[in-house]
Amino acid sequence: MKRYAWLLSTSVLALGMCGVAAAQDTPPPAEGKPAEGAPAADKQVEKVVVTAERRRTSLQRTPISATVITGEDLENKGITNVDQLQFVSPSAAVNNFGQGIDFNIRGIGKAEHNTQTTTGVITYRDGVATFPGYFTAEPYYDIARVEILRGPQGTFVGQNATGGAVFVTTNNPVIDGDYHGYIAGQIGNYSDFGAQGAMNIPVNDEFAMRVAFNGETRDSFYDITGPYTGDDGLKMLSGRVSLLWQPTAQLSVLLKHDYHHLDFGGYPSDPVLRPNDPFEITSNAEHYARDRFTRTSLKIDYALDSGVTIRSITGYQEGNSAYKTDLDGTSVGINLFRDSVDEIIWSQEVNVISADDASIRWILGAFFQTDEHQFNEFYVGTPPGNPFGEYTLGGINPKQSEAVFGQLGFNLLESLELQLGARYSNATTKNEGWINQFTLPLVMKESAESEATTGKVSLNWTVDDHNFVYGFVATGFKPGGLNVDVGFGFAHPPFDAEKVTSYELGWKAGFLDGQVRTQFSTFYNEYENFQVIVAYPTFPTFGMEFNVPGTTRNYGVELQAEAVFGAFSADMGLGWMHSELGQFYAIDPRPPIPFVACNLATGPAGGGCQDLEGQDQTYAPEFTFNIGAQYIFDLGDGYALTPRLNYGHVGPQWATLFENPARGDRIEDRNIFNAQLAFTTGEWTATLYGTNITDQHYVGAINTGMRFAGPPRQFGIRVLKVF
């Protein structure tokens, strides 16, 4: 009973794993990138462009901490989905439960696992904010770039970006680009077979289209024994059609439509303290995990004669996520979990953007979104037929958000710029449905509203052509939500919105005639209303979501560097962070639970009521580090051999604020080595690849006492043909 009660407020999410990335089509050379055939000694670090501020700007001249990865970089580093971003960006931690993830940047993002607790690191795909909870394992293919923005994005992203944001941009059609594209296939261990490709089709001098696809099948990573031995492995198919119409130099219309059918077989897990290998599972319940969804985005740009651009971005997303698992991860008894959730999102954003060379640079914008979850089936407990052991839920959770925002930038001196940004956001959420709580019928009909004004004030100094220094204060906001009714006359008030205030200083520099580029930043965050699930103060059997009363603080430093010396290139990222929870008293809602009152703000400590002030934030590793390097051996006559090695380290982290190793709260560090050896001749490239080549069997996530394993070693060969 106690275990079921703890689950009332938490959807059990699971770990999804995709195979090794297939090659990306090479986009047109970026500004500042040497032409093919340039002498190796003259090569520089490629100029990087970001779109975080709704216009294309140089990363080295933008007051933001960010890691930008091109499609080619994704291939070289073995990155296929959001999980692996933690191994290439400082201060990032991704704990994946399959149906959803805890993505945290600088210790801030998402710490609880349900549809009401929205993410604090939002992902945008081609300008559209994507599903904030489910559908997280969307594969990366035919990608132009991925931007990982660290720190609150309170002006342009607003709510759900207290920790940061991820912008994923796919390759666009090219009107004058002739027919070009790529086709790639791979074969690997676990009977892995994959293929992907893309083609640009220039229809006429005003219209072009691009089609892309990605597919993969793979056997399960798990050895499942017991009465049920399911999990059939991965079966994944995705496709994208992109249409670009440019009838005049002023008007551009870009339409993209994505489809995904992702069958992961299941998300097997077992008790966190079990001594066996995490890939050896006993189970007596069915495993099933399938995401099916579509996304359509429409981007319209119109440039006025004055240089002002009017932009509209419309998004529609619809999907179903279905999941079944053995909740206790053993063959003892039968303890099932299953859900089937539909989600539909409509969004609209409008921007009015001044000319890039205007003396006063400004942006005005408005945003609107509706997001509705429909729970077709939510079941926890023993098999159907025993109402005293069943918890079921059905109904809808509609959400709506609106925002207006703007930014103003102008030069105080020739080299000194002041930027001012602000955003007003309003968010509402409702529960409308029913619950059958162990024979007790309940009706869900609750609502909550959150609003906030966030923004950023930045002072930017361009010291010279090679040095840029900035300092800013920025704020972020994540909406509150609703607790699920637990009956018995207990109050279940909504939990409040989270707010973050961040202070950051940064220095971006170039050395050795552009062969080395660095970013350095230091930050200090004040984190209000940290959202956590703990025992209900007056009846600890039930877990509810609350806000930490005191102010949580964290601070740290980050360093990134990229270098090109002839045929040799390398990149590195490092992050160090310290966090301290604000004043907070709580009872651990896991058995055995003492029946004592525990005020969140005053305690008192003792009898099971714990003083948690000063504890680390959850999912906030103190140290992260990544490094990668490659060398191109020119063999002559168009032949080249390129070995690559990448390493990513994510330090230990805590899965709960109670920090109890005896209950499995500690997630140990992750040390992932990826390697490749590519042989290129003309339009063909054959690559031997390996990910997690040391085969570290690490815990990728912990939830409600269950551990979910990260992907094991995978290796194989990939062949790419560019045309």
- pLDDT at residue number 684: 96
Three-state DSSP class for residue 337 = strand
d(CA 174, CA 191): 36
Is the Cβ–Cβ distance between 334 and 381 less than 8 Å? no
- pLDDT at residue number 18: 34
Is the Cβ–Cβ distance between 166 and 121 less than 8 Å? yes
pLDDT tens profile 51-99: 888 888 899 999 999 999 999 999 889 899 889 999 999 999 999 877 7
Sign of CA dihedral 439, 440, 443, 448: negative
Share of the chain above pLDDT 90, in %: 65
Residue 519 pLDDT greater than 90, yes or no: yes
Burial class (CB in 10 A: 0-12, 13-18, 19+), 352: middle
**What mean pLDDT is predicted for residues 371-380?**
89
- pLDDT at residue number 503: 98
Is the Cβ–Cβ distance between 454 and 153 less than 8 Å? no
Within 13 A of 478's CA, how many CA atoms are on the CB side?
30
Token pair of 261 as six digits:
């059918």
Token pair of 159 as six digits:
């709510």
687 to 103, 523, 717: CA distances (angstroms):
31, 40, 6
- pLDDT at residue number 43: 63
d(CA 506, CA 668): 31
Which H/E stretch holds residue 193? strand 192-202
Whether residue 152 is preceded by a cis peptide bond, meaning omega within 30 degrees of 0, is no
The DSSP 8-state label assigned to residue 517 in this structure reads E
- pLDDT at residue number 539: 64
Residue 411 pLDDT greater than 70, yes or no: yes
Which H/E stretch holds residue 2? helix 2-7
**What mean pLDDT is predicted for residues 342-360?**
95
Residue 5 pLDDT greater than 90, yes or no: no
**What mean pLDDT is predicted for residues 211-229?**
90
Residue 537 pLDDT greater than 90, yes or no: no
Cα three-residue angle 274-275-278, rounded to 5 degrees: 75
d(CA 436, CA 394): 9
Residue 33 pLDDT greater than 60, yes or no: no
Is the Cβ–Cβ distance between 663 and 705 less than 8 Å? yes
More confident residue, 640 or 273: 640
With CA atoms as reference, report the closest residue to 324 among 287, 377, 373.
287
Beta strand extents in 219-359 (DSSP E only) = 223-225, 234-245, 251-263, 270-271, 280-282, 288-303, 309-326, 336-353
Token pair of 709 as six digits:
């394993």
Q: What confidence category does residue 706 fall into, taking pLDDT thresholds of 50, 70 and 90?
A: confident
In this structure, the chain runs to a length of 723
Q: What confidence category does residue 13 fall into, taking pLDDT thresholds of 50, 70 and 90?
A: very low
Backbone angles phi, psi at 421, to 5 degrees: -135, 150
More confident residue, 116 or 474: 474
Return the amino acid letter for 584. F
**What mean pLDDT is predicted for residues 639-651?**
97
- pLDDT at residue number 125: 95
Residue 425 pLDDT greater than 60, yes or no: yes
449 to 112, 145, 401, 452, 548: CA distances (angstroms):
20, 35, 10, 10, 19
Residue 40 pLDDT greater than 90, yes or no: no
> What CATH number corresponds to the domain at position 201?
2.40.170.20
Is the Cβ–Cβ distance between 131 and 100 less than 8 Å? no
Residue 494 pLDDT greater than 80, yes or no: yes
Three-state DSSP class for residue 587 = coil
**What mean pLDDT is predicted for residues 682-709?**
93
DSSP-derived secondary structure for 645-685: EEEEEE--EESSTT--GGGT-EEPPEEEEEEEEEEEETTEE
Q: Which residues of 674-691 are buried (b: 16+ CB within 10 A; e: fewer)?
A: bbbebebeeeebebebbb
Cα three-residue angle 554-556-559, rounded to 5 degrees: 150
Beta bridge partners of 185: 195, 719
How does the average pLDDT of the chain come out, rounded?
88
Report the range of poorest mean pLDDT among 221-225, 393-397, 531-535, 622-626: 531-535
Pairing label, strands 164-170, 121-125: parallel
d(CA 369, CA 248): 31
End-to-end CA distance of the chain: give it in Å, rounded: 61
Is the Cβ–Cβ distance between 397 and 372 less than 8 Å? yes
**What mean pLDDT is predicted for residues 282-303?**
93
438 to 18, 442, 542: CA distances (angstroms):
37, 10, 14
d(CA 703, CA 685): 42
Which H/E stretch holds residue 3? helix 2-7
More confident residue, 150 or 273: 150
Within 13 A of 152's CA, how many CA atoms are on the CB side?
32
d(CA 4, CA 176): 60
DSSP-derived secondary structure for 281-298: EE-SS--EEEEEEEEEEE
Q: What confidence category does residue 185 fall into, taking pLDDT thresholds of 50, 70 and 90?
A: very high
Q: How many domains does the chain have?
A: 1
Q: What share of the chain is helix, strand, coil (3-state, %, to 5)?
A: 5, 55, 40
Q: Which residues of 384-412 are buried (b: 16+ CB within 10 A; e: fewer)?
A: eeeeebbbbbebebbbbbebbbbbebeee
d(CA 492, CA 659): 26
Q: What confidence category does residue 172 fall into, taking pLDDT thresholds of 50, 70 and 90?
A: very high
Is the Cβ–Cβ distance between 396 and 373 less than 8 Å? yes
**What mean pLDDT is predicted for residues 141-145?**
96
Greatest extent of the chain over all pairs of C-alpha atoms, in Å: 80
Q: What confidence category does residue 110 fall into, taking pLDDT thresholds of 50, 70 and 90?
A: confident
**What mean pLDDT is predicted for residues 537-558?**
85
Which H/E stretch holds residue 4? helix 2-7
pLDDT tens profile 231-279: 789 999 999 999 999 999 999 999 999 999 999 998 888 888 888 899 9
Which structural domain, as residue segments, surrounds residue 416?
2-722
d(CA 288, CA 262): 11
Residue 147 pLDDT greater than 50, yes or no: yes
Is the Cβ–Cβ distance between 430 and 397 less than 8 Å? yes
Q: What confidence category does residue 514 fall into, taking pLDDT thresholds of 50, 70 and 90?
A: confident
Beta bridge partners of 314: 298, 348
Please name the residues in contact with 97: beta carbons below 8 A apart, sequence gap of 6 or more.
12, 13, 14, 15, 113, 267, 701, 703, 708
Return the amino acid letter for 216. E
- pLDDT at residue number 490: 64
The DSSP 8-state label assigned to residue 98 in this structure reads S
Report the range of poorest mean pLDDT among 38-52, 228-242, 303-317: 38-52
Residue 20 pLDDT greater than 80, yes or no: no
Q: pTM, whole model, 2 decimals?
A: 0.91
